[in-house]
Amino acid sequence: MIRFVLIQEYSNNKNYKTDDSELKGRVPMESRALYYSEIERINRKELEELQLRKLRATLQILYEKNPYFGRKLRQAQVKPSDINKLEDIAKIPFTTKDDLRINYPIGLLNVGIEKVVRFHVSSGTTGDPTVVAYTESDVDKWSELNARCLNMMGVKRGDIIQIAYGYGLFTGGLGIHYGAERLGAAIVPSSAGNTKRQIKLMKDMHATVLACTPSYALYLAEAAIQEGLNPKEDLSLRVGVFGAEPWSESVRKRLINQLCPEPYDIYGLSELCGPGVAAECPLKNGLHVWADHFIPEVIDPKTGEVLGPGEEGELVFTTIDKEAMPLLRYRTRDVSCLDIEPCACGRTHPRISRIKGRDDDMLKIRGVNVFPSQIEYVLERMEELGDQYQIILTKSGPLDDLKVKVEVKSSAVSDKPWDMVELKKKVESEIYSVLNLHVEVDLVEPGSLPRSEGKAKRVVDLRRST
């Protein structure tokens, strides 16, 4: 027991009760620092003073130099000098995804292009995607935040971390990558997909940490079992860094039973930086938001009113340490609540409860983000196909799956004695080229799909009934 100083420190706190099962998978204290940075346990009053100072500085810059935010603030009659205490943040108007779209691609850029070292782009459900820019300092701070998250989860130098989040325009892969590199862990940058290879690499490289979406983690466990492996015996995984989609305690239990003893939740969104905005500490009682970089609020999504601790609503973040694209009171559409009570881990940064869901139409299929509009985009371009289609969501084991039903044009039926199988393959391969995901396509006769008055019901969700 003496070896586990980390646990002892927690146990010394009256609020934290431990039992033997909680020791499993913990990292002995001597091999890593408890805190990556001392700021993790900054005195709450100092933290709030720091936030106010940084908020005022961010506001000053946007007010004076950013045409779009400057105009918005003037219209709302808010001056930087009106912000005298943290609660005054409620005077500042919200920013939404629409503000980003109106300014597509880089209208909200707050520095000269010569200072930008990176763009990331998130898929748009409708219309234009969202572009986020980073300066060198932004990337540096993003790396630090991810290093804090990983260290908090017990990842350390000597660990082998397989990063199965997508690398590229999506922030997941690179964000975790920079954090792990900063920490000195050994990275296997496997990126998303290619399940057989993921399992082989995890096994052969003796990966101790897996970073991917929780649904993909479950799928990997299932696929490993199908290959005759016992993931808990044959793989060396200790820690899971699971995020980019909401997940529940029952999924955590399944991950513990099937894959690794310590699955942690990590949260972020590309508009703020990507992963690393918040993460769970070993007590797994909410996710600490790095409040020296972001001011979190929870609001009533209907009225915009700020809600108190423990009240559930929409998460809103203000970035107070970003150069390239700071955002004021950005509405995430994620549902959560705030916990400002001190945590027994010693960190003073407030916690958010695990995300309940997102008011969004994005689907997550086998670890890949899928937007119905992407499928529509493919189908619309194929002249053999009619206008009517359905995206049917089902459950395939622990994972969500989807199938597309689409009507063939009657002219294509009567004029060309085409090979149904060939056309089906063609549609599937077109969808694959856009989504990077194999989706089964059912071709159906013209007029056979249900029509709806008003808004077409394109997505049929059979997940609960299957």
Binding of residue 7 to Zn ion (CB under 5 A): no
Instruction: State how far Cα 353 lies from the chain centre.
Output: 15
User: Taking contact as CB under 5 A, which single stretch among the options 178-186, 216-224, 278-286, 378-386 is the one that binds Zn ion?
Assistant: 278-286
CB 109 within 8 A of CB 324: yes
Q: At closest approach, how far in Å is the CB of 284 from Zn ion?
A: 9
The only residue of 163, 343, 441, 443 in contact with Zn ion, by rule CB under 5 A: 343
Q: At closest approach, how far in Å is the CB of 375 from Zn ion?
A: 41
Instruction: State how far Cα 324 lies from the chain centre.
Output: 21
Binding of residue 279 to Zn ion (CB under 5 A): no
Q: At closest approach, how far in Å is the CB of 434 from Zn ion?
A: 41
Binding of residue 209 to Zn ion (CB under 5 A): no
Binding of residue 132 to Zn ion (CB under 5 A): no
Binding of residue 315 to Zn ion (CB under 5 A): no
Q: Strands 262-269 and 239-243: what pairing?
A: parallel
Q: Strands 351-352 and 363-365: what pairing?
A: unpaired
Binding of residue 42 to Zn ion (CB under 5 A): no
User: Between 426 and 455, how does the x/- string for binding to Zn ion read (CB under 5 A)?
Assistant: ------------------------------
Question: Both tokens of residue 25?
Answer: 């998978």
Binding of residue 281 to Zn ion (CB under 5 A): yes
Q: At closest approach, how far in Å is the CB of 345 from Zn ion?
A: 3
Nearer to Zn ion, 171 or 348 (CB): 348
Q: At closest approach, how far in Å is the CB of 10 from Zn ion?
A: 9
Nearest by Cα to 285 from 331, 217, 354? 354
Q: Element (H or E) spanning 98, and its range?
A: helix 97-102
Kindly state the number of chain residues that form the binding site for Zn ion, as judged by CB under 5 A.
4
Look up residue 399 and give its amino acid.
L
User: Who's near 396: CB < 8 A, 6+ residues apart?
Assistant: none
- DSSP track, 149-193: HHHHTT--TT-EEEE-SPPSSSHHHHHHHHHHHHHTPEEE---S-
Q: How far apart are CA 240 and CA 280, in angstroms?
A: 11
Binding of residue 345 to Zn ion (CB under 5 A): yes
Nearer to Zn ion, 40 or 323 (CB): 40
Binding of residue 352 to Zn ion (CB under 5 A): no
End-to-end C-alpha distance for the chain, whole angstroms:
46
Nearer to Zn ion, 6 or 281 (CB): 281
Binding of residue 269 to Zn ion (CB under 5 A): no
Binding of residue 188 to Zn ion (CB under 5 A): no
Binding site for Zn ion (CB under 5 A): 281, 343, 345, 347
